[in-house]
Amino acid sequence: MLELFNPQKSITALQTKGPNRWDWALLPIVLAMLAAFAFAAMQMSRPFVVGEILDISLDPSYLPYYLLRTILRMFTALAFSLLFSLVFAAVAVKYAAAEKLMIPMLDILQSVPILGFQAIAIAPFIALFSGDLLGVECAAIFAIFTSQAWNMAFSLYQSMRNVPSELNEAARIFRLSSWQRFWRLELPFAMPGLLWNMMMSMSGGWFFLVAAEAISVAGQDIKLPGIGSYIAVAIEAKNGMAIAYAIMAMLAGIILYDQLFFRPLLAWADKFRFEESQGDTAQQSWLLDWMRNSVWFRAWTQKLWRLMAKALSWFSISYDGTSEKARATGRSPLWGKLWDVFLVVAAVAAAYRLIVFVHSDVGWAEVGHVIWLGLITLCRVMILIGLASLVWVPVSVWIGLRPQYSQRVQAVAQFLAAFPVNLMFPIVVFAMVSWNLNANIWLSPLMVFGTQWYILFNVVSGAASIPNELRLAADNLGLKGWLKWKRVYLPAVFPSYITGAITASGGSWNASIVAEYVTWGKTTLVADGLGSYIKQMTEAGDFHRIALGIGVMCIFVMLLNRFFWRKLYLLAEDRSR
């Protein structure tokens, strides 16, 4: 009887059966993808010196090539973001001492603008790959990574912290080690939400693509072949037709990787949903259906899973005979106190260095001015997040409960989330100049244009994960209207909403650099705020004031997360349990 479940025998049977029509249908798709990415990868490494001009043509015939280079950078960054998220979430959840440092650090990282990361990373990467274009490519990939990783890491951390108590109890009964718990319980439980946030992170990479690919270093402008550089050149040339071509190329690229990558993954991850019956919420993917019918692909994936299971078993840690709670309480409290002392000393030392920097390099009057600008941006962020929540939470719940609609809007939502705000500059500048509008008011919506979708994606994921049994129970109890929303839907999606709102808030601070300082050709519109201050200091090359602006932004985001979002997050964690 056990032989029926022998993987090796299944693989042998599949191999002897031979290829079928699904294999021949998949073969050109796989070969085309491999050939395209191999070609793009070879173009990333060639002789290059700083100061050399890389021509970016606005001829639309170059757009497929630029799109290929951009998508390769984004998927490379996504792979590193996923690896970072797995390590970060696993360590933060397992070790309370590390969590005290890592979560505030994540708040800081997601609030640092992409310009700040570029200023730090470009020179080391160029020095590491001296005389080669690969150094600049790595700097661009790192910049895209910084727009993807923090959202994914926080989503995975939040999901792992909210594993249902009955599943934790089952893991203790089956005596799973920490390593086994991660791979067999926590990661599978978090998989649907993680995939939705991977889609959102890809869109976040598009949003900051112009800043990532059009790099300024040592007084030299480097524009890597890609959609972001194409958009930057089109904006400089005030070429509206080129902007339209770029929008069409983006839409084509998003549809392609949605159908060939994200849609199959979402359909595959549907089996990880936490409920006893699947109900009517299953995702569908034509490509996944082809893969499941393919003899070659099934044999290859079975071999891959066996190799992965064998590799993961090498790192498995045996169960030590005690529960997690007993192991946690068994640790010496002395180490915890020493760690707390170390964190306090590090915080005091950082504060001292900050005071010295302010006193000697920028002056206290400048600090007061920057704090006032930060308060203006804070008001914009909170008002816009509140308005976006009122609109998108009910819409997202409605979409998440209806998979037939969620699959239809999936690519559309990705496109809207990926739409770089720079592409709206022509319309914004024309409208504001023509009607003499106030920049402090009418530039504000640009801050949330690309970040409100964090709320949409997270709440859709949370609504789609509501167990079908719970929905049926609510119907049997006769819950309707606002009572059903109050007792079932809103509590169920509240943890997902907090995750989306936190990342949307952090992303809005980052987006303020683009939204508060708008240029189209020689026309510039500036709104008062911290983002426009950092942008102006960056153009002026005043590194002390750049550091001051970024530091104040980090402080605002940390305080907001600590005293507002963190309270709501703990409430969501308590309610979900």
Residue 239: DSSP 8-state? -
The pTM (predicted TM-score) of the whole model is: 0.77
HSE on the CB side for 425, CA within 13 Å? Answer: 28
pLDDT at 238: 82
Lowest-confidence pick of 195-209, 257-271, 388-402 = 195-209
The domains of the chain are located at 48-281+342-576, 291-318
Spatial distance between the Cα atoms of 48 and 37, rounded to a whole number of angstroms:
21
User: Among 120-134, 189-203, 314-328, which stretch is predicted with the lowest mean pLDDT?
Assistant: 314-328
Q: Are 132 and 228 in contact (CB under 8 A)?
A: no
**Mean pLDDT computed over 315-322:** 46
Q: What is the mean pLDDT of the chain?
A: 80
Percentage of the residues of the chain whose pLDDT score is greater than 70: 86
Just give the CATH number of 48-281+342-576.
Answer: 1.10.3720.10
Sign of the CA dihedral 273, 275, 281, 285?
Answer: positive
pLDDT at 575: 63
- pLDDT digit string (tens) for 410-424? 667 777 777 776 677
Poorest-confidence range of 102-116, 156-170, 314-328? 314-328
Residues 6 or more apart in contact with residue 70 via CB below 8 angstroms: 209, 213, 226, 227, 228, 253
Strand runs labelled E in 320-474:
none
Pick the more confident residue, 502 or 1: 502
Top-confidence residue, 224 or 327: 224
Condensed to tens digits (0 to 9), the pLDDT of residues 29-64 reads 888 888 999 999 998 888 888 778 888 999 999 999
The per-residue pLDDT for range 365-381, each reduced to its tens digit, is 888 999 999 999 999 99
Residue 314 has pLDDT above 70, yes or no: no
Residue 192 CB partners (closer than 8 Å, separation 6+): 266, 269, 270, 272, 273, 461, 464, 465
Residue-level pLDDT at 342:
76
